[in-house]
């Protein structure tokens, strides 16, 4: 039993409800619209398979519908025509023959959605919310669940697509019409009042063992009225959000596939004869796809439609980050379109933060750095970051309090940054970020420098200020990709004194973490900055530290750099060994 077989009846129910609301008889509507009384009667009874667009326009004009009502009526008419030429499939959600992986999620859903005969052992949770980013295959997995569990629900499965990520999500009133029609209610028996429809829907499910699939829910308000009452049927809801406001549900997050699952999926789509002996290229393709099922589907379909192409050839085409999203298209499937739907659902603070996070050199970001990028309070920024996690656009780590990008989302956000923010604004944000990161690194480094070390320079945005050396070390560790990554930005801006100051303040701390590759970057820039400033002694100190870090990287690990050794042996005065120029604490180079 499916919703699709009753789409034209749903159109009839809505038309009749709108006519009653307008207080028009069939004859009056016929005269106003130019549609015959007989034709109107066929539509309301559901025997018409879906009127043409010009007919719907005429009816909408006669009924004086607002844009939302007009769009809803047209959608139901389109759905009726789309299903008129072919019989309804066993499930409205189409299954795929090459379904791959997802064993853990499938097992969880099967346990949650399996009826138990013994009433005393009925599970408390009868609704599962399957959520995750766009393109992860939530709808495909829901269809596979419905197929595998068909025999466990003797009263059938009803499905409705809620179009939650579209510009016009399906209203609850229309969804209830579709569900009630699928449950066998004649169009004329479906009440016009939404609350009455909901009561009738719950009553229809109360005595049955059915599986209700609500695909692509926008939010809790759209899904909640469509959930069965406890003790009867089961429900599976798919959404890009976790729908945290729903009560009494079990949430299953769908994330990226494993490397092996991704390779197997490509092999099943393309065929073993095309992938055998190309393991390295197939592995490269799965990496470029970020192991996103939709992306793997597109890549597989592109290879299938081009018999002369090898996996290596396609991988080469997709290597360039600047054009990868444009290359991930196969017919009407496009990764950019799917990701853009999620981006379009964000408010402006969320969009701005997602865009500007791409300015950070690393892929994982803390809340403080994110707040610097947007110029908003840390508390507000944290809430926005969590909303991006809820939408599947960022990955959140509750332990470290950091947030990371999926590679393809990063590409989309970087595109939007270029398209939506002026160059001068982007440059100003990048400069503010670079200054804050390097100044914060200098402040943290001072915990490990001699007591007579000078204070770092002042700036517009207060730096991260740890209270203890433990906090300082933790920040330097977590943010090292970022503070090392902005050194070229600071150098291009002529901030040579500040680069040298930071390199000198962090020199003692380098002894604690000698294997970090960031030290080579820092001391290379420190040596260059000293040379630009004409400070030969400071340049010698930076070159000494650079030689030490290179020796460590090569496996020839001296205990200390020469400068540090001289300081320990007391051959020179305490802080003078680093020769900080007096102007380095306040001025630009």
Q: What is the pLDDT of residues 204-248, one digit of tens each?
A: 888 788 899 999 999 999 999 999 887 778 999 999 999 999 998
- The answer on pLDDT for 160 being more than 80 is yes
Model confidence band, residue 17 (pLDDT cutoffs 50, 70, 90): confident
Model confidence band, residue 1 (pLDDT cutoffs 50, 70, 90): very low
* pLDDT-above-70 percentage for the chain: 87
- Nearest 5°: CA angle at 406, between 401 and 411? 125
563 C-beta neighbours (distance < 10 Å), count? 22
457, burial (CB in 10 Å: exposed 0-12, middle 13-18, buried 19+): buried
User: CB within 8 A of 313, min separation 6: which ones?
Assistant: none
In whole angstroms, give the CA distance from residue 515 to residue 551: 10
Cα 1 from chain centre: 33
Model confidence band, residue 51 (pLDDT cutoffs 50, 70, 90): confident
In whole angstroms, give the CA distance from residue 313 to residue 39: 57
Cα 190 from chain centre: 38
Q: Which residue has the higher pLDDT, 240 or 189?
A: 240
1 C-beta neighbours (distance < 10 Å), count? 16
Largest Cα–Cα separation, the chain:
107
Q: To the nearest 10°, the Cα dihedral for 510, 511, 517, 519?
A: 30
Average confidence (pLDDT) over 532-542: 95
In whole angstroms, give the CA distance from residue 125 to residue 228: 11
Model confidence band, residue 124 (pLDDT cutoffs 50, 70, 90): low
pLDDT tens sequence across 431-445: 999 999 999 999 999
pLDDT tens sequence across 323-336: 999 999 988 889 99
Residue burial 404-420, b: 16+ Cβ < 10 Å; e: rest: bbbbbbbbbbbbbbeee
Where would I find the H helices in 113-166? 138-148
In whole angstroms, give the CA distance from residue 501 to residue 507: 10
Confidence (pLDDT) at 11? 77
In whole angstroms, give the CA distance from residue 377 to residue 368: 9
- The answer on pLDDT for 588 being more than 60 is no
| 3-class secondary-structure state, position 220 | helix
Whether residue 584 contacts residue 500, with contact meaning beta carbons closer than 8 Å, is answered with yes
> What backbone torsions phi and psi does residue 586 show, to the nearest 5 degrees?
-145, -25
- The DSSP element (H or E) to which 489 belongs, if any, is helix 487-492
> What backbone torsions phi and psi does residue 164 show, to the nearest 5 degrees?
-65, -30
In whole angstroms, give the CA distance from residue 498 to residue 496: 5
Give the N- to C-terminal CA distance of the chain in Å, as an integer. Answer: 74
pLDDT tens sequence across 389-421: 988 899 887 556 799 988 999 999 999 999 999
Model confidence band, residue 9 (pLDDT cutoffs 50, 70, 90): low
- The answer on pLDDT for 131 being more than 90 is yes
User: DSSP string of 293-323?
Assistant: HHHHHHHHHHHHT-TT--HHHHHHHH--TTT
Backbone conformation region of residue 18, classed left if phi is above 0, alpha if psi is from -120 to 50, else beta: alpha
User: DSSP string of 36-47?
Assistant: -HHHHHHHHHT-
Confidence (pLDDT) at 263? 92
Confidence (pLDDT) at 420? 96
User: CB within 8 A of 82, min separation 6: which ones?
Assistant: 7, 50
Q: How many residues does the chain have?
A: 589
What is the number of alpha carbons within 13 Å of residue 344 lying toward its C-beta? 13
Average confidence (pLDDT) over 453-477: 91
| 3-class secondary-structure state, position 337 | helix
- The answer on pLDDT for 90 being more than 70 is no
C-alpha distances in Å from residue 318, one per residue of 16, 67, 311: 53, 42, 11
Q: To the nearest 10°, the Cα dihedral for 311, 317, 321, 322?
A: -160
Residue burial 118-138, b: 16+ Cβ < 10 Å; e: rest: eeeeeeeebbbbbbbbbbbbb
The closest of 548, 468, 469 to 503, measured between CA atoms, is 548
Confidence (pLDDT) at 483? 97
- Greatest mean pLDDT among 85-89, 329-333, 351-355, 582-586 lies in 351-355
- The answer on pLDDT for 151 being more than 50 is yes
- The DSSP element (H or E) to which 395 belongs, if any, is strand 395-397
- The answer on pLDDT for 72 being more than 90 is no
Confidence (pLDDT) at 589? 36
pLDDT tens sequence across 483-498: 999 999 999 999 999 9
What are the respective helix, strand and coil percentages of the chain, to the nearest 5? 60, 5, 35
User: CB within 8 A of 154, min separation 6: which ones?
Assistant: 209
* pLDDT-above-90 percentage for the chain: 53
Model confidence band, residue 557 (pLDDT cutoffs 50, 70, 90): low
In whole angstroms, give the CA distance from residue 194 to residue 217: 18
Whether residue 169 contacts residue 222, with contact meaning beta carbons closer than 8 Å, is answered with yes
In whole angstroms, give the CA distance from residue 61 to residue 68: 13
Confidence (pLDDT) at 183? 85
Beta bridge partners of 330: 333
- The answer on pLDDT for 501 being more than 50 is yes
- The answer on pLDDT for 533 being more than 70 is yes
The closest of 142, 70, 85, 80 to 113, measured between CA atoms, is 142
């Amino acid at each position: 039993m499916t919703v699709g077989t009753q789409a034209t009846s749903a159109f009839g129910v809505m038309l009749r409800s709108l006519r009653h609301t307008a207080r028009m008889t069939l004859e009056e509507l016929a005269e106003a619209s130019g549609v015959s009384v007989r034709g109107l009667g066929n539509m309301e009874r559901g025997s018409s398979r879906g009127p043409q667009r010009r007919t719907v326009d005429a009816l909408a004009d006669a009924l004086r519908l607002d844009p939302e009502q007009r769009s809803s009526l047209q959608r139901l008419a389109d759905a009726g025509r789309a299903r008129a030429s072919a019989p309804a499939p066993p499930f409205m959600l189409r299954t795929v023959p090459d379904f791959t992986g997802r064993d853990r999620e499938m097992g969880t859903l099967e346990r949650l959605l399996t009826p138990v005969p013994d009433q005393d052992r009925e599970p408390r949770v009868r609704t599962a919310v399957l959520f995750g980013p766009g393109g992860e295959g939530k709808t495909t997995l829901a269809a596979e669940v419905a197929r595998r569990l068909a025999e466990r629900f003797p009263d059938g499965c009803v499905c409705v697509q809620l179009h939650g990520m579209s510009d016009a999500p399906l209203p609850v009133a229309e969804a209830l019409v579709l569900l009630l029609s699928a449950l066998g209610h004649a169009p004329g028996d479906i009440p016009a009042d939404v609350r009455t429809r909901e009561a009738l829907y719950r009553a229809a499910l109360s005595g049955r063992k059915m599986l209700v699939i609500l695909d692509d829910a926008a939010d809790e308000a759209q899904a909640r009225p469509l959930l069965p009452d406890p003790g009867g049927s089961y429900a599976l809801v798919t959404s890009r959000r976790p729908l945290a406001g729903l009560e009494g549900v079990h949430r299953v997050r769908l994330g990226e596939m494993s490397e092996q699952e991704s390779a197997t999926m490509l092999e099943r789509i393309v065929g073993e004869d095309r992938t055998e002996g190309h393991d390295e290229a197939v592995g490269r393709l799965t990496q470029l796809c970020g192991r996103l099922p939709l992306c793997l589907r597109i890549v597989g379909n592109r290879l299938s439609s081009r018999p002369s192409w090898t996996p290596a050839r396609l991988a080469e085409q997709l290597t360039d980050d600047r054009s990868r999203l444009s290359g991930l298209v196969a017919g009407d499937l496009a990764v950019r379109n799917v990701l853009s739907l999620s981006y379009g659902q964000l408010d402006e603070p969320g969009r701005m933060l997602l865009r500007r996070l791409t300015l950070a050199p690393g892929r994982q970001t803390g809340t403080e750095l994110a707040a610097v990028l947007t110029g908003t309070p840390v508390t507000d920024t944290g809430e926005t970051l969590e909303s991006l996690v809820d939408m599947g656009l960022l990955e959140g780590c509750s332990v470290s309090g950091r947030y990371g990008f999926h590679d393809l989302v990063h590409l989309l956000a970087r595109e939007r940054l270029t398209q939506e923010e002026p160059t001068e604004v982007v440059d100003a944000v990048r400069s503010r970020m670079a200054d804050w990161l390097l100044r914060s690194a200098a402040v943290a480094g001072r915990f490990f420098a001699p007591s007579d070390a000078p204070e770092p320079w002042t700036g517009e945005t207060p730096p991260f200020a740890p209270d203890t050396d433990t906090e300082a070390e933790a920040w330097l560790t977590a943010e090292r990709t970022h503070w090392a990554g902005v050194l070229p930005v600071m150098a291009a801006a002529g901030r040579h004194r500040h680069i040298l100051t930071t390199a000198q303040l962090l020199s003692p701390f380098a002894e604690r973490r000698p294997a970090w590759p960031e030290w080579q970057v820092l001391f290379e820039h420190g040596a260059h900055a000293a040379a630009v400033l004409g400070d030969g002694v400071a340049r010698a100190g930076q070159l000494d530290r650079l030689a030490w870090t290179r020796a460590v990287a090569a496996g020839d690990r001296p205990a200390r750099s020469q400068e540090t050794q001289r300081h320990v042996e007391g051959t020179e005065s305490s802080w003078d060994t680093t020769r900080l120029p007096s102007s380095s604490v306040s001025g630009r180079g």
